[in-house]
Amino acid sequence: MEKERESGGRRAPRLAVELTGTLVSRRSRPVTVVDLSLTGCLVRCEDALDGDQVLDLQTTLGGLPFTAKVRVTESYVDGSTRSAAAPRYLAGLAFLGLQAQEGARLRRFLDEERRRRRGADTPAR
Residue spans per domain, the chain: 15-111
For each of the chain's 125 residues, which pLDDT tens digit applies? 333 334 445 568 899 999 999 999 999 999 999 999 999 999 999 999 999 999 999 999 999 999 999 999 999 999 876 665 677 999 999 999 999 999 999 999 999 999 998 987 666 55
15-111 has which CATH code? Answer: 2.40.10.220
**Helix (H, G, I), strand (E, B), or coil: what is residue 92?**
strand
Dihedral angle sign, alpha carbons of residues 117, 80, 60, 101: positive
Amino acid, res. 28: S
Helix runs in the chain, H state only: 100-121
